[in-house]
């Protein structure tokens, strides 16, 4: 997915001349934590201010308090790359700009979490199955074949590196009960991480 597919397009902004009191009020009324600071005429990005910045009562004006060195994203950037940028720089949002440096959207950590939920299918009735397999080609294709044989529809699938040249494959099936699929995996001797086997009573 690209940033333009998940970003907030309704831009709530302020200008360098906006008072700190007014900025606080805007944040409260619009339920936002960050405001891009735009040039009043060109609408180009000049800075960004957060709710934490506005708590610095020793500052007197927007120009004093706003951050001018702002990390940004382009609408065509991949969502995972934008997320990595936010993680690396420990920031909670990215203004999205066009090639003329005009802000056309905002990407927040909440948008990324919402996207993660949709990508994994966790927002729909489904079941989670995890297996560990050797980190080699053909493993995903083999699992797809098992799903086809058991007539299971996979909503999402992720491959995560594991230890000792292995990888963990996380799947969400479009079913509440994955028993048939899990049993088929056991027959083929897959290392099933989830669902866990119930402990046998002694």
One domain, residues 90 and 53: yes
Q: What mean pLDDT do residues 183-190 have?
A: 96
For residues 182 and 154, give the distance between their C-alpha atoms in angstroms, rounded to a whole number: 13
Q: What is the DSSP letter of 164?
A: S
One domain, residues 138 and 49: no
One domain, residues 107 and 13: yes
| Domain containing residue 47: CATH number | 3.10.580.10
Residue 198: the pLDDT is 58
Q: How confident is the model at residue 200 (pLDDT cuts 50, 70, 90)?
A: very low
For residues 177 and 127, give the distance between their C-alpha atoms in angstroms, rounded to a whole number: 7
| Mean pLDDT (the chain, rounded) | 92
Q: Where is the domain boundary, 100, 116, 132?
A: 116
Instruction: Give the residue carrying structure tokens 């995972």.
Output: 80
One domain, residues 26 and 71: yes
- Token readout for 129 is 């199955």
Q: Where is the domain boundary, 116, 134, 169?
A: 116
In a domain, 18, yes or no: yes
Does 167 score more than 50 pLDDT? yes
- Phi, psi (rounded to 5 degrees) for 151: 55, 45
In a domain, 201, yes or no: no
Per-residue pLDDT tens digits for 59-104: 778 988 999 999 999 999 999 999 999 999 999 999 999 988 899 9
Q: What mean pLDDT do residues 34-45 have?
A: 92
For residues 47 and 14, give the distance between their C-alpha atoms in angstroms, rounded to a whole number: 10
Residue 58: the pLDDT is 72
Residue 164: the pLDDT is 83
Which pTM was predicted? 0.80
Q: What mean pLDDT do residues 147-169 have?
A: 92
In a domain, 200, yes or no: no
Q: What mean pLDDT do residues 41-67 have?
A: 88
In a domain, 103, yes or no: yes
H/E element holding 118? helix 109-120
| 20, 63 contact by CB (below 8 A) | no
Q: What mean pLDDT do residues 112-133 have?
A: 91
Residue 57: the pLDDT is 65
Residue 124: the pLDDT is 87
Domains in the chain, number: 2
């Amino acid at each position: 997915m690209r940033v333009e597919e998940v970003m907030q397009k309704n831009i709530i902004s302020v200008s360098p001349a906006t008072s700190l009191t007014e900025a606080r009020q805007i944040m409260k009324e619009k339920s936002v934590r960050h405001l891009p600071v735009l040039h009043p005429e060109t609408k180009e990005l000049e800075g960004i201010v957060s709710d934490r910045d506005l708590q610095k009562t020793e500052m007197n004006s927007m120009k004093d308090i706003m951050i001018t060195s702002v990390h940004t994203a382009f609408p065509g950037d991949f969502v995972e790359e934008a997320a990595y940028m936010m993680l690396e720089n420990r920031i909670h949002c990215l203004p999205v700009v066009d090639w003329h440096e005009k802000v056309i959207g905002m990407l927040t950590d909440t948008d990324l979490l919402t996207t993660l939920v949709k990508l994994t299918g966790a927002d729909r009735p489904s079941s989670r199955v995890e297996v560990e397999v050797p980190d080699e080609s053909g493993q995903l294709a083999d699992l797809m074949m098992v799903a086809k044989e058991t007539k299971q529809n996979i909503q999402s699938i992720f491959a995560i590196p594991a230890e000792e040249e292995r990888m963990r494959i996380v799947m969400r099936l479009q079913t509440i009960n994955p028993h048939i699929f899990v049993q088929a995996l056991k027959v083929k001797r897959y290392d099933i991480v989830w669902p866990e086997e119930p402990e046998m009573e002694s």
